[in-house]
A and B are shown apart, each in its own frame.
Chain A
Amino acid sequence: NAGVMQNPRHLVRRRGQEARLRCSPMKGHSHVYWYRQLPEEGLKFMVYLQKENIIDESGMPKERFSAEFPKEGPSILRIQQVVRGDSAAYFCASWPGQPQETQYFGPGTRLLVL
């Protein structure tokens, strides 16, 4: 049973480019969360998605950031026109949907904006 997969593990972009981060949840999980972690800081919730629906995007900046979780394929977090302040580790977590169940985290994508 494969865990949550994220790719790429490391991503380097120049200012103004687009960053596309992918997350494949655990088999059977239809709920995906995205978090951002800055150095020396905790996890910041960004967005919560179910298949084909955004449930809660209250933690995601209104501009330049978008997320999707299509019926087929991985969840995508897209950052357009990246700036240096976007440099961080981005974690995806999947959840099976039962209240007492934990989230399962991927290894993260470390984005560096030059």
Chain B
Amino acid sequence: AQSVTQLGSHVSVSEGALVLLRCNYSSSVPPYLFWYVQYPNQGLQLLLKYTSAATLVKGINGFEAEFKKSETSFHLTKPSAHMSDAAEYFCAVTTAGNQFYFGTGTSLTVIP
């Protein structure tokens, strides 16, 4: 079975500071991993995905994530936070592809 753990349900960073949102996965087979962003009163939008190509994945809005098999992690980072980055972020894992497992989400607050 697969699962995802997002450490830290709430993260606050200052504008311009590094954003680091943590995601650890559990999977007995090579996974596909995704990060999504959800703005208030909207659905989830794909930020980036890992599909066994490059371990460092670049997404939209300056976000990137690195797949580390030895640490079973797929942490999301952005060098410099912007006010518009304030949102809910979800990590998800799938293997066969027809069942997706989502983390409980991390709410990012950006302090001016």
Q: Which residues of A does B touch, CB under 8 Å?
A: 4, 31, 33, 35, 41-43, 45, 48, 55-56, 91, 93, 95, 97-108, 110
Interchain CA distance A43-B41 in the complex, whole Å = 14
A-B contact count (CB 8 A): 58
Contact residues of B between 26 and 83, Cβ < 8 Å to A: 32, 34, 36, 41-46, 49, 51-52
- Pairwise interchain contact B42-A108, C-beta atoms closer than 8 A: yes
Q: Are B43 and A100 in contact (CB under 8 A)?
A: no
The interface bits of chain B over 71-112 (1 if a CB of A lies within 8 angstroms of the residue's CB, else 0) are: 000000000000000000010001111111111110000000
Given contacts A41-B104, A42-B103, A42-B104, contact A101 B97 (CB under 8 A): yes
Using A41-B104, A42-B90 as known contacts, say yes or no to A48 and B98 having CB atoms under 8 A apart: yes
Measured between alpha carbons, how far is A110 from B49 in the docked complex, in Å? 28
Asked if A107 and B98 sit within 8 Å, CB to CB, the answer is no
What are 29 sample pairs from A and B whose C-beta atoms fall under 8 A apart? A31-B98, A33-B100, A42-B90, A42-B102, A42-B103, A42-B105, A43-B44, A43-B90, A45-B101, A45-B102, A48-B98, A95-B97, A95-B98, A97-B97, A97-B98, A99-B94, A99-B96, A100-B49, A100-B52, A102-B34, A102-B46, A102-B49, A104-B46, A105-B43, A105-B44, A105-B45, A106-B43, A108-B42, A110-B41
